[in-house]
Amino acid sequence: MQKIQHIIKNPKYLAHIEAISKHEKTRKFCKHDLSHYLAVARIAVILQLESSEEHFKKIDKQVVYAAALLHDIGRWLQYEDNTPHNETSASFALQILQEAGFSKEEIAAITQAILKHSEIKSQNQSGLVGLLYRADKLSRECFLCAEKDECHWDKKNEVLFI
């Protein structure tokens, strides 16, 4: 998991995490922090292990973790100027992935999954796109949230239960 360590220690990555944290300091809804990213990664790996579909099992674990760690890093710019976070996250991820040593094919798969992770039509896609979508949606514990009546995140996002 050397490439993942590179991402987590990357100064650009850490700056994005810090920028999001500043914007979400008073946010009462779910945060977009390392806990969320790791939850998405772990759920994605569990989905891979439990899947009978070969296309899920063939995705390298470092690719799964990279997509999960980077899928929301552009969220801070959405807070500032309403730019869609999936677009900025994919753009910011590109250089970080290159610096971490991912191949061109891996980078293409990861950035594509990041671009599509919030599109409802991605729920039925195969490969990393569908895996990231499902894991992201399953990572939210709306049923336990004190803000669920005001947020309605679970009603806006199709959540596929295992």
pLDDT digits (tens, 9 = 90+) for 29-88: 677 889 999 999 999 999 998 887 776 668 999 999 999 999 999 998 888 999 999 999
Q: Which domains does the chain have, with CATH numbers?
A: 2-156 (1.10.3210.10)
pLDDT value for 16: 95
Q: Determine contact, residues 68/44, Cβ cutoff 8 Å.
A: yes
Question: What does the pLDDT read at residue 72?
Answer: 95
pLDDT category at 121 given cuts 50, 70, 90 is: confident
Cα–Cα dist 160/146, whole Å: 21
**Contact residues for 131 (Cβ-Cβ < 8 A; gap 6+):** 44, 47, 48, 56, 59, 64, 113
What radius of gyration, in Å, describes the C-alpha atoms of the chain?
A: 15
Kindly report the average pLDDT of the chain as a whole number: 86
Q: Given this model, what pLDDT does residue 99 score?
A: 97
At 33 the pLDDT is 84
pLDDT surpasses 50 at 162:
no
pLDDT at 29: 60
What is this structure's pTM? 0.87
